[in-house]
Amino acid sequence: MNAKTIIFTILIGLGILAAYYVGKSSSTGPTSTEENDNPELTYVNSSVKERPESMADIRDSEPAPPPTIITTQEKATIALFEASAPSVAYITTKSVRRDGWSRNVEVPSGSGSGFVWDEDGHIVTNFHVIRQADRAYVTLSDQSVYEAKLVGVEPRKDLAVLKIDVPSRMLRPISPGNSDNLKVGQSVYAIGNPFGLDQTLTTGVISALGREIESPWKIPIRDVIQTDAAINPGNSGGPLLDSSGRLIGVNTAIYSTSGSYAGIGFSVPVDVVKWVVPDLIKYGEVRRPMLGIEMSRNNTEEGVEIQQVTPGKAADQAGLKGMRRDQYGRFIKGDIIVAVNGKKVSTNYDLILALEEYSAGSTISLSVLREQETQEVDVTLGSSADM
């Protein structure tokens, strides 16, 4: 073998060896930026798994474990909602309109919330929810819908009662609690239909007690509950519940500059609901205790001035006097009521709300200022049904 043959053989061997090492080096991983940006492996919890080929692979993979309920408070809230939600209803209203091209046409006029009061199908809501409606429809928690009949309204408390014809087995009446022993800071729960989103739960606390708001008839509603539980349009008429799931108020209004939740909501206390609703169901109206007087609109510093006494009614029978003229034609002021059973009254609204604490037929003592002298007068209250 000559020298040329030997050199050629050595060169071929070196080429084969170089090709072997180059191939081995290229198989250890990507060498380009493009390959690094599109890896075929994903890293999960420090272990290497193949990337799923499609959504089908993801669906067929082992399901994630359910969320863990961490606290007993969560369990209690879930149980409260599941037990109370069937008592809450969604109320939609419609108005009848007539135009030149068609006959009577129903158009939506509003919506709100309500709750089942008894197994006879009575549904409680706010007066302002059905105020401008010609027809109202109640949707129960199972999504069944019923046309409702109006039973009665009490605008001075912003309450109304509807009735639906439905088997009692389909109704779960709410359990009323008390509102005279509530405490600021205790937990509350609101269930309703804000913005038409039915069966919505919000939670919060009682922020304040003894608030006062104005009813649709411009008469104050006193002892109102203030809460920070989110209340929005559509929540009106829904229940405010305590931690035992008992009714403590009817969600009625919010304080907001935008019309949406701003952290301040108001509920009519259940102690008011418990005396208004039975009257509405029985009579179609609230049978209020009445004095049988017309109150003067003139404000006095002492109390409520009687402008006129209705002949034959409670005040007349007790000897109370309204404005009158003496023998010379001069006006004489009417009696001024300054207290009811020792409770001071300063305005006409004070007197109206003071009388609500009593029923027709009750005898009360009025402190009356007459010709600069105070005297006590016993009055047996009449009924608004007799006026």
Helical H segments across 326-371, by residue range = 348-355
- H or E element that contains 78: helix 72-84
**Tens digits of residue pLDDT in 48-80:** 445 555 555 555 666 767 767 678 889 999 999
Count of H helices and E strands in the chain? 8, 24
Mean pLDDT value of segment 140-168: 96
In this structure, the answer to whether residues 294 and 265 fall within a common structural domain is no
Percent of the chain residues past pLDDT 70, beyond the cut: 79
- Quote the pTM value: 0.74
- Other CB atoms within a 10 A radius of the CB of residue 276 amount to 25
From 265, 283, 301, the end of a domain falls on 283
- pLDDT category of residue 46 using cuts at 50, 70 and 90: very low
User: What is the pLDDT, as a whole number, of residue 218?
Assistant: 85
User: What is the pLDDT, as a whole number, of residue 15?
Assistant: 58
Contact 102, 157 (CB under 8 A): no
- 122 catalytic, yes or no? no
Most confident of 158-172, 208-222, 291-305: 158-172
pLDDT higher than threshold 90 for residue 89: yes
Cα of 84 vs its chain's centroid, Å: 14
Question: What is the CATH classification number for the domain harbouring 368?
Answer: 2.30.42.10
Q: Is residue 16 assigned to a domain? A: no
If one counts the domains in the chain, the total is 3
From 239, 259, 283, the end of a domain falls on 283
Identity of residue 282: K
Of 111, 158, 228, 350, which residue is the catalytic one? 158
- 236 catalytic, yes or no? yes
Question: What is the CATH classification number for the domain harbouring 152?
Answer: 2.40.10.10
In this structure, the answer to whether residues 200 and 219 fall within a common structural domain is yes
In 3-state terms, what secondary structure has residue 360?
Answer: coil
In this structure, the answer to whether residues 201 and 144 fall within a common structural domain is no
User: What is the pLDDT, as a whole number, of residue 92?
Assistant: 94
E strand intervals along 23-104: 41-44, 47-50, 88-97
- pLDDT category of residue 41 using cuts at 50, 70 and 90: very low
Task: Classify the C-alpha dihedral 106-285-159-163 as positive or negative.
Answer: negative
Of 128, 141, 207, 335, which residue is the catalytic one? 128
- The whole-angstrom separation of Cα 154 and Cα 126 is 9
In this structure, the answer to whether residues 217 and 304 fall within a common structural domain is no
Residue partners of 158: CB distance under 8 A and separation at least 6: 126, 127, 128, 215, 216, 221, 252, 253, 268
Mean pLDDT value of segment 317-338: 90
Q: How far is CA 146 from CA 89, 91, 167, in A?
A: 11, 10, 12
Q: Is residue 41 assigned to a domain? A: no
Of 109, 113, 236, 367, which residue is the catalytic one? 236
- The whole-angstrom separation of Cα 322 and Cα 313 is 13
- 128 catalytic, yes or no? yes
User: What is the pLDDT, as a whole number, of residue 256?
Assistant: 74
Q: What is the DSSP string of 199-221?
A: SEEEEEEEEEEEEEEE-TTS-EE
In degrees and rounded to multiples of 5, residue 128 shows phi and psi of: -70, -15
Tokens 């006095």 sit at which residue?
A: 300
In this structure, the answer to whether residues 236 and 300 fall within a common structural domain is no
- pLDDT category of residue 294 using cuts at 50, 70 and 90: very high
- The whole-angstrom separation of Cα 61 and Cα 323 is 88
User: What is the pLDDT, as a whole number, of residue 64?
Assistant: 67
**Tens digits of residue pLDDT in 328-352:** 888 888 999 999 999 999 999 899 9
pLDDT higher than threshold 50 for residue 39: no
- The whole-angstrom separation of Cα 207 and Cα 351 is 28
In this structure, the answer to whether residues 217 and 242 fall within a common structural domain is yes
In this structure, the answer to whether residues 263 and 350 fall within a common structural domain is no
- H or E element that contains 163: strand 159-163
Q: Is residue 278 assigned to a domain? A: yes
Domain range for 344 is 289-386
Q: Is residue 118 assigned to a domain? A: yes
User: What is the pLDDT, as a whole number, of residue 157?
Assistant: 95
- Other CB atoms within a 10 A radius of the CB of residue 89 amount to 28
In this structure, the answer to whether residues 191 and 158 fall within a common structural domain is no
- pLDDT category of residue 44 using cuts at 50, 70 and 90: very low
User: What is the pLDDT, as a whole number, of residue 25?
Assistant: 47
From 263, 283, 303, the end of a domain falls on 283
Mean pLDDT value of segment 85-95: 94
